[in-house]
Amino acid sequence: MIRTLYLFLVLLGLCACVHKPYPQSLITADSLAGANPDSAVTLLKSIENTMPAEPEAVQMYYRLLCIKANDKAYMLHTSDSLILPVLHYYIEKDDERHLPEAYYYAGRVYRDLGDAPQALEYFEKAAKALPEDGGYKLKSKIYSQMGTLFSYQEIHDEAMKMYRKAQLCDEVLKDSSSMVFVLRDIAYEYRCYGQTDSTLYYYQKAYNLATAIQNSKLAAMVQNQMASLYVEQGKYALAKKKLQPSLNNMDEPSKSGIFSIASKLYHNSGQLDSAAYYYRELLDFGTVYAKKAAHQGLAKIALAYGNLQEAALHLSLYEHYIDSINQITDTENIRRLNSLYNYQMREEENKQLKMENERKQAAVVCILLIAILAISTTISIYTQYSKKKKAEYQMQIGRLKRLKEEQYQRSAQFIEENNLKIEELEKQLGEISQENSTLKSQLQRQKEIIFNTNKQAEIEWNEQEKAKAAFLRSDIYKHFSTLAHPDTQKEERNDAPKTKKAKDQLAQDWILLEQGINSVYKNFSENLKILHKFNEHEWHVCLLIKIGIQPVDMAIITRHSAESITATRRRLYEKVFLQKGDPKKWDAFILSL
């Protein structure tokens, strides 16, 4: 009798441990989530109204599947309100079946929310919740996600470790598709190390595997990455060849990355209109990193075309995205959490060394405190420096804007637009009846103001044209033109000023040249010197650019090498516009003043 009762209790306990079956609709949705996530999302929405009547376990499983299906469908998680109750439920139940997956999707949620340290912590917990000799499919995803997080923070040694772990899982599973992704990621880490041969080896290995399983999308994805590498190396023909399959076979999640590579390819190869097209497309759907690069690229193109206002707008938005990325990037917290995770693992594996570990921990804390103090000081100094640079940048942009406005008010376009305004006002005056004398008087005053402004602009324009003609006939212009003339180069080089009298004469010639330029282009020197403090050589180069002297002749006149002239022009553009640029852009700017 006692034996029978004992057997009954054992069987009752076993029955209690057996998982109650979930509704078939949820099992189907779980199966669809991986292969066809959009269908899974639709199915889950269709049964949403039936869930309140189901047991709590079914409701929690339903919520977990909703998060999973949305994640697989590339729907951005915007809140942790759905995942946290699910996660707490499975932690409380100590549910070995669903807890690892709940931790994993909590990590995915916090990654989308930009909280990289929290995401990493949940991924680590997900890996720890899985058995050592199982769960390889989820482990592969976990390690790939951790690798990506470390890679974003530029902690490439840790990223490589995670990708290698993911690779081992894929080898156990014989999952070729997943292996293509991890080989691509390993190649990227070698790329960050600057090891080009290893990078190309792993990209080629990934491409060969994608081709072997006849997956054209994966093959195009790998070629896309190879194209990005070739763009960096300046091999634009190869880059275009590799990128074309990606442009022909592109899905929505890959669009941002592919268009980013295309924009950089066309920008670097000098095809600015094509580059601008891809940059503008990225502003609509690109990642925060892609939008930052797009605004920077559009600013450079706007400056190349002399559109300072548009350039200023894009530079302002570029800084906005830099601030957003800085909020996402939290490298020190990532390192801290990773160190804590490794410490906890050692603690579990070496309990007999607890006392020794406590002493080590105390030493580590002291080091960390010193490091934190040093980092805080560095951050404070850097913050002050950044504020100063930002203020200088804003001031420089303001100067460029004001200069652009002044140029416009002396331009033929300004005069023409004012003439059109006058014609419009005359038309309105002709249509107004005599009884409406007040409005007529107001319009007449507007017309007179615009007319007088235009008259003054026309006078200044005509005076400038006369002054320009006179300057081109002047002895000083002819003198510098003669110095630059190819037929006299040898003679001038032999006659380089050696006496004090000759040097004084040359200095006077430069003064006369500057005066002549200012007589034609009002406030040329004043406007230009507001933007930068020029040394003597830099200023002479600017004057020679303004009168149309070619760089090779500038080298002869200033007795500098051609390379020095090129470097001076490039350096001046970078100092004034606070960004990289080529010498021709500086020439164009000087000629536009």
Would the pLDDT of 490 be above 60? no
Residue 493 — pLDDT band, cuts 50, 70, 90? very low
User: CA torsion angle for 581, 583, 589, 591 (degrees, to 10)?
Assistant: -170
Worst-scoring range by mean pLDDT, 180-189, 305-314, 501-510? Answer: 501-510
Residue 252 exposure: Cα atoms within 13 Å on the Cβ side: 6
Of 431 and 318, the one with more pLDDT: 318
pLDDT tens figures, 531-556 = 888 999 899 988 888 888 899 888 88
What is the model's pLDDT at position 344?
52
Q: CB burial class (10 A; 0-12, 13-18, 19+) of residue 127? A: buried
What is the model's pLDDT at position 399?
62
The C-alpha angle 62, 67, 72, rounded to 5 degrees, equals 120
What is the model's pLDDT at position 366?
82
Q: Using CA atoms, how far apart are residues 508 and 87, in angstroms rounded to an integer?
A: 81
Tell me if 270 sits within 8 A of 292, measured CB to CB.
no
Residue 223, CA distances (Å) to 164, 192, 203, 213 in order: 22, 18, 8, 16
Tell me if 483 sits within 8 A of 557, measured CB to CB.
yes
Residue 420 — pLDDT band, cuts 50, 70, 90? confident
Overall average pLDDT of the 481-505 stretch: 62
pLDDT tens figures, 202-252 = 999 999 999 999 998 888 889 988 988 998 899 999 988 988 887 877 777
- In percent, the amount of the chain with pLDDT more than 70 equals 82
The model's pTM is 0.50
Tell me if 454 sits within 8 A of 420, measured CB to CB.
no
Would the pLDDT of 498 be above 60? no
Q: Work out the mean pLDDT of the chain and round it to a whole number.
A: 81
What is the model's pLDDT at position 7?
44
pLDDT tens figures, 253-302 = 788 888 889 889 889 989 999 889 988 988 888 888 888 988 899 989 98
Would the pLDDT of 579 be above 90? no
Residue at token pair 């002749």? 553
Question: Phi then psi for 126, rounded to 5 degrees?
Answer: -65, -45
Residue 192 exposure: Cα atoms within 13 Å on the Cβ side: 17
Would the pLDDT of 401 be above 70? no
